[in-house]
Amino acid sequence: MRKLAMVWMVLCLVLSAGTVLAEPLRIGALFSITGPAAFLGEPEKNTLEMLVKEINAKGGVKGQPVEAVIYDTTGDPTKAVQLATKLIKDDKVVAIIGPSTTGETMAVKPITEKEQIPLISCAAGIKITDPVNPWTFKTPANDHIAGEKILNYAVGKGQKKFALLTVSDGFGSSGREQLKGLLAKKGLELVADETFGPKDTDMTAQLTKIRAAGPDAIICWGTNPGPAVVTRNVKQLGIKIPLYMSHGVASKKYIELATPEAAEGVMLPAGKLTVFDKIKESDPQARLLKEYDAAYRKTFGVEASTFGGYAYDALQLIVAAVQKNGASSDQIRSGLEQTSKVVGVSGVFTMSAGDHNGLDLSAFEMVRITAGDWAIIQ
């Protein structure tokens, strides 16, 4: 009996050690946590850390604990490439979430594609996944979808002549290209095409030219702080032309930077998280969005952001792929292509070998800023 007891104790210790020492599912992340794009990277980092804790508290993924190795790129493409290499070579991650911006993602892509590591970007530029590469995916809806959402609404309001004001970075350049293509496709007129630098602090010269061109509407494409400056300049110049923004400013930070008074009436396509308390309860995303916002508020003391949702979706898609196919990089890649009707913060994802984004027009609601808050445009 004593011998049996000893054997049992040893067996229990082995089993216990096996549980403790289970190989983690190591996921890398590249976010712009500090620097000009911190409004993107900080909620992405917060969300990923929060979700990892939730998943591990429930036993991990198929018995494997999730480990997130997160680095701050500061929004620098060169640094992003260095850190991506570190994640792959030193940290031995099986997949990478991020980077936060289109420019960084385009710089990192060649590395992850060469090393055959799935990359799920948190940036919106269509060039990230078009043309499709087997190893690159993204969670924000493509910018041409956001552009089409704006133009569909604008045309319905009888607007036919447009002015573009876009930031000269990866996101803005991609948006500009897509918008020009959509305008031509829909037979609409482009009467002004102006740009501004990511660090510019005054756009009155561009807006003065735009006003002289007589557009029916202005579409500004960029991420803060530039669009907030544009919004204040529009107010200062007394321009009454309807102003549309891209989904790149779909957070309360934009309203704060622009000031509620200047932002009043500005319209944009926004992910449903922005108006989760206003969408129908029957919407397939309604419950998830409510739960995500509540968890984020409880953990960090502020409302959840659309940008944090990009990281949420990326990890959930990886988890679904592991559960379906397995935990190697190749199995995750294959599993991502089999994604079907997965409800996320950014929309309902259905991917394939020919579509590594998986979202459509239903990912957005057209919203108008009213009294410092979002209102769904009916």
pLDDT of residue 21: 52
pLDDT of residue 12: 52
Listing DSSP states for 265-333 in one string gives T-EEEEEGGGGTTTS-TTSTTHHHHHHHHHHHHHHHSS---HHHHHHHHHHHHHHHHHHHT-SSHHHHH
Among 125, 201, 219, smallest CA distance to 163 is for: 219
Do 135 and 203 have their domain in common? Answer: no
The answer to whether 342 and 231 have CB atoms below 8 angstroms apart is: no
Question: What does each C-alpha distance from 354 to 102, 301, 341 come to in angstroms?
Answer: 20, 40, 16
pLDDT of residue 215: 98
Do 195 and 98 have their domain in common? Answer: no
Question: What does each C-alpha distance from 42 to 75, 100, 116, 367 come to in angstroms?
Answer: 12, 10, 27, 24
**CB count, 10 Å around CB of 378?**
5
Do 212 and 333 have their domain in common? Answer: no
Do 216 and 298 have their domain in common? Answer: no
Do 303 and 239 have their domain in common? Answer: no
CATH number at residue 89: 3.40.50.2300
Dihedral angle, C-alpha 255, 245, 300, 284, nearest 10 °: 130
User: What are phi and psi for residue 277, nearest 5 degrees?
Assistant: -80, 0
The structure's pTM equals: 0.84
Do 169 and 256 have their domain in common? Answer: yes
Predicted confidence (pLDDT) per residue in 31-49, tens digit: 999 998 898 999 999 999 9
pLDDT of residue 286: 97
Q: Which residues pair with 167 in a beta bridge?
A: 196
Residue 369's domain comprises 144-278+364-376
Is residue 249 one of the residues assigned to a domain?
yes
Do 291 and 246 have their domain in common? Answer: no
Question: What does each C-alpha distance from 181 to 161, 162, 175, 206, 266 come to in angstroms?
Answer: 14, 13, 10, 22, 23
**Before 131, cis peptide (omega within 30)?**
yes
Report the distance separating Cα 118 and Cα 123, nearest Å. 15
The tokens describing 359, both together, are 């979202």
Count the domains in the chain.
Answer: 2
Which pLDDT tens digits describe the chain residue by residue (378 residues)?
Answer: 444 444 455 445 444 544 445 799 999 999 999 998 898 999 999 999 999 999 999 999 999 999 999 999 999 999 999 999 999 999 999 999 999 999 999 999 999 999 999 999 999 888 999 999 999 999 999 889 999 999 999 999 999 999 999 999 888 998 999 999 999 999 999 999 999 999 999 999 999 999 999 999 999 999 889 999 999 999 999 999 999 999 989 888 899 999 999 999 999 999 999 999 999 999 999 999 999 999 999 999 999 999 999 999 999 999 999 999 999 999 999 999 999 999 999 999 999 999 999 999 999 999 999 999 999 997
Do 135 and 42 have their domain in common? Answer: yes
Do 237 and 327 have their domain in common? Answer: no
Do 352 and 371 have their domain in common? Answer: no
Sign of CA dihedral 60, 64, 70, 75: negative
pLDDT of residue 299: 97
pLDDT of residue 19: 45
Do 333 and 189 have their domain in common? Answer: no
The answer to whether 338 and 348 have CB atoms below 8 angstroms apart is: no
Is residue 85 one of the residues assigned to a domain?
yes
Question: What does each C-alpha distance from 16 to 13, 65, 176, 236, 341 come to in angstroms?
Answer: 5, 15, 57, 67, 37
pLDDT of residue 14: 45
pLDDT of residue 10: 46
Residue 65 per-residue DSSP state: P
